[in-house]
Amino acid sequence: MFFKWLKRYMPRSLYGRAALILIFPVVFLQLVVSFVFIQRHFEGVTDQMTRAVAREISLVLVAAERRNEDPEEFRRITDTLAMEMSFPDDLSGEDTRIWYDFSALIVGRNLYQKVPGLEFVQLAQNKRVRLGISYDTGPVVIAFDRSRVSASNSHQLLVNMVFFGGLLTLVAYLYLRNQLRPITKLAAASEAFGRGRNVPYSPGGAVEVRAAGNAFLDMRNRIERQIEQRTLMLSGVSHDLRTPLTRLKLGLSMLEDEDREPLERDVEDMQRMLDAFLSFARGAYEGEPETVDPRALIERVVEDCARGGQDVSLIECEGHGEVSWRILAVRRAVENLIGNAVRYGERAEVSLRITEKSVRIRVEDCGPGIAPQDREEALKPFARLEPGRNQNRGLGVGLGLSIAADVARAHGGVLRLERSERLGGLCADMVFAR
């Protein structure tokens, strides 16, 4: 449970986690060393120095008893021990210290133990220590430098630790960033290839990173060869079949009208299937990415489809901005969605929403829709769901949704199928990452 809670607050990027792995041990080590040093060194040194001063105070007090008898001896002892003494009529004062002066606690504790009659210890005035003592001969106030009872420049260790710890952390982070750069390049190349872009990449870095980079290049080349071979095969087959179809059309044109119409419909269906195969063969990687305004592109697609006799309208355009798309592939995907919507419903409605992170193209119809359990199957190539999509409305080859899904994936997006809340039919959402 604790690790699950802690995981939510951990950095997600590789740089953040590497910095945490690097900085946390350094900070932890500094804290441990600081604690041990303060406890063992500062406390021990302060304790010894305070005991020495307590013995000197005892000597000064003894000399103060004979100050009237031998003032020169008294002055010589106070000057030698660098202590100032005064003899007020009464003592008034209380213990004082600066709140962050932790060594003052040790000083005060030891002085109270070693100096009889001590009334107060004041440690917060101009780096001086002022003691009030009720002695046998009367009240005495003794003042001396603070450096007599605690180590001087005690902060130097902490300053050095912080400075050199930060310096070494910075050097280690720069070195670590240089080691992580090949990984980020590999991640960027993989992400770009997943979105249909082929960016230059050469393996580098450690042996393991180079191996992963070479494996990525082999995988990318193999996928590109498979896509090219599939495209060439389907294009060749579809192109070769056009010649006998043309001869069939020419031969059918010489038949009588009553015998020609059924055969011409069959030929037209075959022609439509070949066009769908060619469209599928071109794939989602046709052309190079270009900067385009999604609003202008969708408006042109809807206008062209409406001019072609399809009942389609653009009902909403929200947001603005430009994206990098393969225009022909996206146009073909949207046209397929509109064609499916018009074929299985009476009309299609298109909406566009542009945000800072994504672009959503929605096509809705008033047809029978697709059952939730069949939606994943509907995205596969050559999937035929006519019993649920009203086969009497038209004949398809089962590639429209598959092409749209491939185009969405090639641009780092996804195609989602849902029920339309507006029209009651199918709602197809193409969501592209920006």
Q: Are 407 and 329 in contact (CB under 8 A)?
A: yes
Left, alpha or beta for 351 (phi > 0: left; psi -120 to 50: alpha)? beta
Indicate the DSSP class of residue 42.
Answer: I
148 and 238 fall within a common domain: no
Burial of 71 (0-12, 13-18, 19+ CB in 10 A): exposed
Angle at 327 between CA 323 and CA 329, to 5 degrees: 120
Residue at 85 is within a domain:
yes
For the beta carbon of residue 160, count every other beta carbon within 10 angstroms.
10
Residue 221 sits in a domain of what CATH number?
Answer: 1.10.287.130
7 and 148 fall within a common domain: yes
Q: What is the pLDDT of residue 361?
A: 92
**Pair of tokens at residue 395:** 């004949």
67 and 131 fall within a common domain: yes
32 and 103 fall within a common domain: yes
Residue 390 sits in a domain of what CATH number?
Answer: 3.30.565.10
Boundary (domain end) residue, out of 282, 304, 334: 282
Left, alpha or beta for 276 (phi > 0: left; psi -120 to 50: alpha)? alpha
320 and 420 fall within a common domain: yes
Q: What is the pLDDT of residue 392?
A: 41
**SS3 category, 84:** strand
Boundary (domain end) residue, out of 266, 282, 298: 282
Q: Rounded to an integer, what distance in angstroms lies between the CA atom of residue 391 and that of residue 266?
A: 16
Residue at 109 is within a domain:
yes
Q: Long-range pairs for 47-55 at CB < 8 Å and ≥24 separation? A: 47/106, 47/110, 49/148, 49/149, 49/150, 49/151, 50/106, 50/107, 50/110, 50/111, 50/114, 50/149, 50/150, 51/110, 51/114, 53/111, 53/144, 53/148, 53/149, 54/110, 54/111, 54/114, 54/115, 55/114
Indicate the DSSP class of residue 247.
Answer: H
Residue at 170 is within a domain:
no
272 and 356 fall within a common domain: no
65 and 50 fall within a common domain: yes
Spatial CB neighbours of 69, under 8 Å, sequence gap ≥ 6: none
7 and 150 fall within a common domain: yes
294 and 426 fall within a common domain: yes
Domain that holds residue 312: 288-433
136 and 269 fall within a common domain: no
Q: What is the pLDDT of residue 277?
A: 65
Q: What is the pLDDT of residue 165?
A: 76
Question: Residues in the chain with pLDDT < 70?
Answer: 1-7, 9, 11, 15, 38-41, 125-126, 152-158, 195-196, 231, 234-235, 238-239, 255-260, 272-287, 382-398
pTM: predicted TM-score of the whole model, two decimal places: 0.51
Q: What is the pLDDT of residue 390?
A: 44
Q: Rounded to an integer, what distance in angstroms lies between the CA atom of residue 258 and that of residue 326?
A: 46
* Among 213, 156, 173, residue whose Cα is nearest residue 37: 156
Residue at 13 is within a domain:
yes
Residue at 251 is within a domain:
yes
- Do strands 414-419 and 358-365 pair parallel, antiparallel, or not at all (unpaired)? unpaired
Q: What's the longest Cα–Cα distance across the chain?
A: 152
β-bridge mates for residue 220, sequence order:
none
Q: Are 373 and 420 in contact (CB under 8 A)?
A: no
Q: Long-range pairs for 102-106 at CB < 8 Å and ≥24 separation? A: 102/38, 103/42, 103/43, 103/46, 103/150, 103/151, 103/154, 104/150, 106/43, 106/46, 106/47, 106/50, 106/150
Query: What is the C-alpha end-to-end distance of the chain, expressed in Å?
Result: 36
* Among 23, 20, 15, residue whose Cα is nearest residue 7: 20
47 and 98 fall within a common domain: yes
The number of distinct structural domains making up the chain is 3
**Pair of tokens at residue 359:** 């672009």
Q: Rounded to an integer, what distance in angstroms lies between the CA atom of residue 319 and that of residue 263?
A: 49
Residue at 398 is within a domain:
yes
Angle at 171 between CA 166 and CA 176, to 5 degrees: 120
**SS3 category, 95:** coil
Q: Rounded to an integer, what distance in angstroms lies between the CA atom of residue 49 and that of residue 375?
A: 83
Q: Where are the alpha helices (DSSP H) in 195-256?
A: 207-252
Q: Residue 232 phi/psi, 5° resolution?
A: -65, -40
Boundary (domain end) residue, out of 231, 257, 282: 282
Residue at 137 is within a domain:
yes
86 and 133 fall within a common domain: yes
Angle of helix 207-252 versus helix 257-282 axis, rounded to 10: 170
Residue at 15 is within a domain:
yes
